[in-house]
Structure 1
Amino acid sequence: MSYKQFLETGKIVATHGIAGEVRIQPWCDEAEFLTEFDALYFDAAGKTQRTVERARVHKNVVVVKFKGVDSVEEAQSLRNQIVYIDREELELPEGTYFIQDLIGLEVLDADDPQTVYGTLCEVSQPGANDVYHIRRPDGTENLIPAIPDVVVQTDLDGNRMFIRPLKGLFDDED
C-alpha cells in the first residue's frame, strides 16, 4: 500500500488579531495535535512549507503565527487554505492509524478470511470509540465499533482489516 506522505489536517478559516495570526479548524482528534509541528504545508506534495513561530489552542481552533506573516492582510490571504503535515514528522502509537489510511481497506472475517464483508468506506467519531462504515458488495452499509473485541487485526501493507463481528452486526450472515 502506498501512503500519502502529506496529510490534510485542517483549514485556515479566519484571521486572529492584527499581528498575522490565523485560525485553523483542525481535522484531527485533538486540536493540540496541530500545535506540535514546526512547519505546516500548503499543498499535498509538500512543496509549499510555512514555518510555525507559535501555535496554541483557542476555543477548539488552533491559532498559528507563521514566520513572515506579520499583518492581518497577509494572514487574510491565507484564508481557506488547506494545511498538511508530513507524516514523517510524527510517530503514531501502536494500533493507531490515520483515517485516510483506513479508507479502502478490504474487511474480512478473522476466523474465516474467505468471508469478505466489504470495504471500509468511512470512519465516524460519535463519542467513546470510532465507528467503521463497511460498504458491502451489494452497496449496503454496516457499521462496526472500532474496538479490540471486533477489530482483530489491521494490515495496512496488505490493504486488509480482519474483524470478528459481534452478533447481529451482519444479520444476513447468521
Structure 2
Amino acid sequence: MAASDAAGPDPADSTPDLANVPPETLVQIGFVFRPHGMEGELKIDPEHTDDPARFETLPFVFLGPHPRRVTKHAIESVRYQQTKRGTTVILGVEGIETRDDSEAVAKHKVFAPEEALDLGEGELFVHDIIGMEVVAEDDTVLGTIANYMEMPAQDMLVVRTSDGEEAMIPVVEDFLLEIDEDAGQITVRPIDGLIG
C-alpha cells in the first residue's frame, strides 16, 4: 500500500466532477435560491424561464456559478411552492442528497441544454434577441437590443441608441410589431418621448 493511500483521500479530489459540455450550448433557466429541507432538495427561482413547468420535461440540469463550471444532475423530483414572489420550484436531483450537499450549490445558476428546451412556434431565447437591430415602422434605425428585463407588469426591451442612451419598450403587441430572426431585426412602434 502506498503512503498516499494510507493517508486517506486527497482533499484536492473533493472538488465536484465538472461536466464536459460546451458552455455556449447552455441556457440559464433558474437560480438556486437556497436549500429546502434536510433531504437535499433545492429551492429554485425560475426567473429565467417563462414556464416553470419546463423543469418537468428535462431529464437533467447543470448547476454551477457560470456555464464553464457546471456539474450535471439527473432530475429526480419537481414540485412547486407559491410564494409572494411567485412560483418557486422545489427540485430534487441526483447527487445532492443532504442539507450539506444542497448548501454547497446554494446561489448557483441552473442551466439546461438549449436543445432540451422545446420552444413553441415563434418563441426565441432571450440571448437570441440581444444585439438585434431595432427599427421603427418607417425603417428608421433606433438602436440595438441591450437587455431584456422581466418586470411585474410586463417585460421590457432595453434599447441602446446610437448616442449611448437607453430606452425601454414594453413587450406587448401595441409596441413590438415584428421580430425578423433571419434579418436580426426587431420592428417597434416607438413611444413618444422615450425613443426615436
- Percent identity between matched residues is 27
**Which residue does 1:118 correspond to in 2?**
143
**Which residue does 1:34 correspond to in 2?**
55
**Which residue does 2:91 correspond to in 1?**
64
Q: In structure 1, which of residues 118, 129, 144 is the aligned counterpart of residue 169 of structure 2?
A: 144
Task: Report the residue type matching 1:133 in the other structure.
Answer: V
Q: Distance in 1 between matches of 2:167 and 2:108?
A: 34
Q: Structure 1 residues 116 and 83, CA, compared in 2 at 3 Å: closer, same or farther?
A: same
Give deviations 1:95-124, integer Å, cap 9, x for gaps. 322222222111123432xx2100111223
**Which residue does 2:45 correspond to in 1?**
25
- Of 118-127 and 29-38, deviating more is 29-38
Structure number with bigger Rg: 2
SS in 2 for 1:10: strand
**Which residue does 1:16 correspond to in 2?**
36
Task: Report the residue type matching 2:73 in the other structure.
Answer: R
Q: Structure 1 residues 127 and 21, CA, compared in 2 at 3 Å: closer, same or farther?
A: closer
Give deviations 1:56-76, integer Å, cap 9, x for gaps. 111332111112322222222
Cα distance, 1:154 vs. partner?
1.4
Q: Report the TM-score, using the length of structure 2 for normalisation.
A: 0.73
**Map 1:60-139 → 2, pairs under 5 A:** 60-112=87-139, 115-139=140-164
- Of 21-30 and 39-48, deviating more is 39-48
Q: Report the TM-score, using the length of structure 1 for normalisation.
A: 0.81
For structure 2, the residue ranges without an aligned partner over 5 or more in a row are 1-23
Question: Runs of 4+ in structure 1 displaced over 4 angstroms?
Answer: none
SS in 2 for 1:85: strand
Q: Structure 1 residues 68 and 124, CA, compared in 2 at 3 Å: closer, same or farther?
A: closer
